[in-house]
């Protein structure tokens, strides 16, 4: 018999880790689990093609994060993208994928669900805006979008 969840899932409680840079825990402000689509493959028959399940495709993973004062989190993605798109050496390009993990925390702020994305690489990184006309301190944010091969959800 399935058990009943007593607590609702909070949108506030999560952490994001990138295996490539384990020293950096991204201060993610928002993330959305990517959507997925199951294609169809028509199977011919003498009368009418019959649709059958086809390939599974995934939407991209986008993370919005606070940029640290020394920009280490931002620069790690920036340098990774430079290595992918315009490497100076072959060694830069060899390490082009990384697994990343989204930890969804329970009401006690301990990891409850692990969402692992395999073979991820960044395809987009927003700029960081600086503005001297602001009347109060606002912290810089950026967004990074990843492509990945597959994702897995595991209840811890």
Domain boundaries, the chain: 14-33+58-155
- Per-residue pLDDT of 110-124, as tens digits, reads 999 999 999 999 999
Query: Which DSSP category does 9 fall into?
Result: P
pTM for this predicted structure: 0.84
Average pLDDT, the chain: 89
CATH T-level fold of 14-33+58-155: Pnp Oxidase; Chain A (2.30.110)
Contact between 57 and 36 (Cβ < 8 Å): yes
Can you read off the two tokens belonging to residue 32? 């959305």
Is 125 a residue whose pLDDT tops 70? yes
Q: How far apart are CA 154 and CA 42, in angstroms?
A: 33
Closest to 105 in 3D by CA, of 6, 26, 28, 15: 15
Q: How far apart are CA 143 and CA 78, in angstroms?
A: 11
Predicted confidence at residue 4, as pLDDT, reads: 66
């Amino acid at each position: 018999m399935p058990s009943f969840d007593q607590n609702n899932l909070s949108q506030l409680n999560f952490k994001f880790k990138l295996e490539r840079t384990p020293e950096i825990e991204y201060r993610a402000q928002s993330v959305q689990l990517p959507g997925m689509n199951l294609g169809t493959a028509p199977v011919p028959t003498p009368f009418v093609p019959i649709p059958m399940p086809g390939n599974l495709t995934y939407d991209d993973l986008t993370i919005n994060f606070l940029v640290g004062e020394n920009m280490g989190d931002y620069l790690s993605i920036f340098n990774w993208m430079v290595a992918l798109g315009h490497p100076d050496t072959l060694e830069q390009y060899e390490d082009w994928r990384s697994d990343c993990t989204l930890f969804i925390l329970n009401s006690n702020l301990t990891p409850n669900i692990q969402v692992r994305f395999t073979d991820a690489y960044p395809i987009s990184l927003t700029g960081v805006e600086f503005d001297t006309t602001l009347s109060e301190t606002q912290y810089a944010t950026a967004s990074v979008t990843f492509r990945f091969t597959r994702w897995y959800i595991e209840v811890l």
